[in-house]
Structure 1
Amino acid sequence: MPLVRPFAALRPASGRAQEVIAPPYDVLNTEEARALAEGRPWTFLHISKPEIDLPRGTDPYAPEVYAKAAENLRRMLDAGVLKQDAAPAYYAYRLIMGEHVQTGIVAAASVADYDTNRIRKHEFTRPDKEDDRVRQVEALNAQTGPVLLAYPHAPEVDAILAAASQNAADADATSETGVRHTLWQITEAASVARLTALFDAMPALYIADGHHRSAAASRVCAARKAANPAHTGDESYNYFLAVIFPDHQMKILDYNRVIKDLNGLSEDEFLKRVAESFTIEPADGPVSPAQPREFGLYLNGRWRKLHVHPSLVPADPVARLDVSLLQNHLISPILGIDDPRRDKRIDFVGGIRGLAELEKRVDSGEMAVAFSLHPTHMEHLMAVADANQVMPPKSTWFEPKLADGMASHLLD
């Protein structure tokens, strides 16, 4: 079985992509999705967040929600808004956010290679979120949320995708956040075969975002394989929907921290404790750390720049991450937050919101202190995955986001 293979995507009909594409299902809550879908009968939110079409207060994990998703998918198919391509293909997919451009490939990725860790993970998953994705896939008989993957250095793949993107686009739409999404079909037999071979030669792919979606695909595959006495391994359930970008083009933003209190310490006591593990410098304005091991600290209306003592940086790929250094040498020992996954005293602010959001959260009195971090690098993520380890929570914030609805993978 190949690492990736082409597939006949379910896509917006010609000229309908702008009406269809929607933010990923997990970046909006129900009310945000309801507001965004107002007056938009064909937005993919009716499939990815179908509770918006049911009475307010409906449990988003109730059986009728998944049934509504299937009903809405049939409605969009019957109306001709969505259509399946006639034959398997790869698809070049370009994202443009401001000056940032990244071009990848839409493909069906091997569940078997996910199960054997050739498609590598870096996060734990939650069973309840896996269950949700399994029920969604089973209700639709389709994977509609793509897994975001990265491939290591492969100039020939980059070149094939760049050449494909010189043709007339098959879909072109701009999201409500201003991100442009463009898709090109790749059907030429030699290019398809070469892409398959080039990916087969890669030692690994890396999950950037979509751990629950890939885990759900593995569970669906295992269940369907067990129920199919004629299983061959060629069935579509042996693959999952993926968009794969070159690692060097992917953009990770900072993922910052805000804390409710100083754990009973005065400002002077707190800073004295911080100085045991970090150098502290005054700053004239907001601190956007320019390099690893550098942090911004916002407290009582003042910014300071922190540098962790070099002797505290270990060789371990997880422990040397900036998020780990801040957690292990400040947030846990000084502020008393040992479990950032569950402790309600800490919150996380994606870098897309800017440093002004950190100031706002502290100045309002909601939070006592904020920390800005340098973004995690792709090579750091890949090193953690290669070591079969797990990143700390809220280590990466990928932008731009993929769009739901641009391409879906129908199952047998």
Structure 2
Amino acid sequence: MAKIIPFKAVRPSRDKVGLVSSRPYQEYSVEELKFQLDHNPYSFLHIINPGYKFHEDITGEKKFRLVKNRYSEFKEEGIFIQDELPCYYIYETQSRHQKYCGIIAAASVEDYENDIIKKHEDTISHRERLFKDYLKIVGFNTEPVLLTYPDSELVNQIISETMQQRPEYEFTSLNKETNRLWVVNDPKTAAQIKSEFEKMKAVYIADGHHRSASSSLLAKESKENNPNHTGEEPYNYFLSYLIAESSLKLYEFNRLVRDLNGLSKKEFLMLLDEWFRIENRGEDLYKPSKKHHFSMYLDGEFYSLYLRKTNYEFTNSLSELDPYILYIKILQPLLGISDLKNDRRIAYLPGKNEPFEVKKAVDEGDFIVGFGMLPPTIEEVKQISDEGSIMPPKSTYIEPKLRSGLTVYEF
């Protein structure tokens, strides 16, 4: 039974929302970031990059406290206003190629801890603690965890009927995406949404494992420090964007490696031959079309690698996952890459980019070999989560990527 509840969001005023909301911070180039900070005083980027006004690169607790100050200023100036009643929020984003729609709500930390909210990625402890400290000091969160749930006729119907009304927000961002948001504050409709999620045995984290883990740490610490803890305090929940499984878009991450671990090209190909049938594709751009098929770009040529299934034993869902096969048969034993998160010899390129981008990265000399594969399916992700296994880092690149500053969750 998943507990997904409405909350009182702090939101931009309708006339300023297009100026306030921003793409994820890491998506901006240095030039784009400078332009926004120089010319848009309403951008949420001013809150999360508070040192800019002082022309200083600030980190740690000092930065967190300045983030809190900038956020308070946005509220004092009426740029941000809090809803009076708990609401659900239906959010749609549409580009020329894709459209996504889901529900912004608060998800239960207890569900996360009890595996009702299921995980498929491991997390790094120091990153969990760092973001927990950030949340504790600033007192708010504006980066939703992306959750996915089994398709529901009732939820689809509610979303469809709500979208017939005038949206609270409708604006187009500079990256040519149209964004719309509807506020669901009708008690009967809100009760239907809450009840429908309570019928679901599980929901799954699609993106945001560190954010949810950090929220769990914050909840534990807050509970220990609150003698009057009831379980309904805001810190017992975390900001989430819930989207149906059929609407989620999964891409793969291509792997780029800087060297062959001391092997010559010939030695490397001969070692690969034990586990893969290799075909030289020459200069033709090649992308795999089947599960357990891989592409490789090396020394100006593409290769197809077909897993020799007679040699390989499938024991569970994880063993069938292509990023796992690539790791245990090539990256770790042949190229000496054991730590996929921290080894600087490996980099990742989202699979929504064409094979040409892998070729370009290798041809420019920063890398010597690149690998591609098909993306995992949502069924694979769910099965691995249900079995309690953990996928290798960067196994999926999932969309949508959500904007910051649209709905803020306060603790």
- For the aligned pair, the TM-score class normalised by the smaller chain equals over 0.9
TM-score (norm 1): 0.93
Separation of aligned partners in 2, 1:145 and 1:228:
25
Residues in 2 aligned to 1:31 and 1:208: alpha-carbon distance in whole angstroms? 30
SS in 2 for 1:206: strand
Report the Cα distance in structure 1 between the residues aligned to 2:221 and 2:54, rounded to whole angstroms. Answer: 30
> 5 Å matches for 1:2-13?
3-13=3-13
What does 1:11-50 correspond to in 2, within 5 Å? Answer: 11-25=11-25, 27=27, 33-50=33-50
Q: Deviations along 1:268-313, whole A, 9 cap, x unmatched?
A: 2222222221122233622222232121111111112222122325
**1:64-213 → structure 2 map (5 Å cutoff):** 64-213=62-211
Once superposed, what is the RMSD of the aligned Cα atoms?
2.1
Deviations 1:86-140 (A, max 9, x none): 2111111112233222211001111111111111112222222222322222222
Correspondence for 1:306: 305
Q: 1:238 aligns with which of 233, 236, 239?
A: 236
1:397 aligns with 2:397: yes
What residue identity is the alignment partner of 1:11? R
User: CA–CA distance in 2 between the matches of 1:304 and 1:229?
Assistant: 63
1:290 counterpart residue number: 289
Letter of the 2:407 partner, please give it: A
- Once residues 341 and 214 of structure 2 are traced to their aligned partners in structure 1, the CA distance between those partners, rounded to angstroms, is 22
Check whether the contact 1:181–1:403 (CA below 8 A) recurs between aligned residues: no
Counterpart in the other structure of 2:250: 252
- Kept in 1, the 8 Å contact 2:11–2:407? The answer is yes
Per-residue CA deviation, residues 359-412 of structure 1 (Å, 9 max, x unaligned), is 12111121111111211211111111111221101111112310111111122x
After TM superposition, the structure 1 stretch with the greater mean CA deviation from structure 2, 72-81 or 192-201, is 72-81
1:148 corresponds to which letter in structure 2?
L
Deviation at 1:6, TM superposition (A): 0.7
Match of 1:223 in 2: 221
CA 186–57 in structure 1, closer or farther in 2 if over 3 Å, else same: closer
Which 5+ residue runs of structure 2 have no aligned equivalent? none
Q: Distance in 2 between matches of 1:110 and 1:30?
A: 36
Provide closer, same or farther for how the CA distance between residues 52 and 394 of structure 1 changes in structure 2, counting only shifts above 3 A. Answer: farther
- Per-residue CA deviation, residues 215-237 of structure 1 (Å, 9 max, x unaligned), is 22112222222222222222222
Instruction: Specify the SS of the correspondent of 2:39.
Output: coil
Aligned-residue offset at 1:34: 4.3
Residue 409, structure 1, aligned to residue 392, structure 2: no
How far has the Cα of 1:51 moved from its partner? 3.9
Aligned-partner Cα distance in 1 for 2:48–2:386: 32
Which residue is equivalent to 1:335?
A: 335
Paired residue type of 1:107: A
CA distance in 1, matches of 2:209, 2:24: 14
Identify if the C-alpha distance between structure 1 residues 222 and 338 changes in structure 2 by more than 3 Å, giving closer, same or farther: closer
Aligned length: 409
Contact between 2:2 and 2:201, CA under 8 Å: does it hold in 1? no
Residue 152 of structure 1: how far off its partner (Å): 1.7
Q: Which moved more, 1:178-187 or 1:320-329?
A: 178-187
Change (3 A) 1:401 1:334: same
Pairwise CA distance, 1:175 = 3.7
Q: Counterpart amino acid of 2:259?
A: D
Match of 2:261 among 260, 263, 274: 263
Using the TM superposition, name which of 242-251 and 122-131 deviates more: 122-131
- CA shift, 1:205, in A, is 1.0
1:387 paired to 2:391: no
Instruction: Give unpaired runs (5+ residues) of structure 1.
Output: none
Tell me: CA distance 1:81–1:313, structure 2 relative to 1, closer, same or farther (3 Å).
Answer: farther
For the pair 1:375 / 2:375, whether they are aligned, the reply is yes
Instruction: Provide the identity percentage.
Output: 33
TM-score w.r.t. the length of structure 2 is 0.93
- Per-residue CA deviation, residues 207-265 of structure 1 (Å, 9 max, x unaligned), is 11111211221122222222222222222221111001001111111200111122222
SS of the equivalent of 1:319 reads helix
Specify the SS of the correspondent of 1:38: helix
Q: Secondary structure at the match of 1:337?
A: coil
Corresponding residue for residue 354 of structure 1: 354
Measured at CA, do residues 350 and 204 of structure 1 come closer, stay the same or move farther in structure 2, by a change above 3 Å?
Answer: same
Task: Note if contact 2:143-2:402 (Cα within 8 Å) is conserved in structure 1.
Answer: no
CA contact (8 A) 1:287 1:295 kept: no
Distance 1:29 1:112, change over 3 A: farther
- Measured in 2, the distance between the counterparts of 1:50 and 1:355 equals 38
| CA shift digits 1:147-190 (9 cap, x unpaired) | 11111232221221122122211122334433333211112222
Is the CA contact 2:121–2:209 (under 8 Å) kept in the aligned structure 1?
Answer: yes
Q: 1:25 and 1:387 mapped to 2: Cα distance?
A: 34
Q: In the alignment, is the contact (CA less than 8 A) between 1:103 and 1:162 conserved in 2?
A: no
Structure 1 residues 394 and 248, CA gap change in structure 2 (3 angstroms):
same
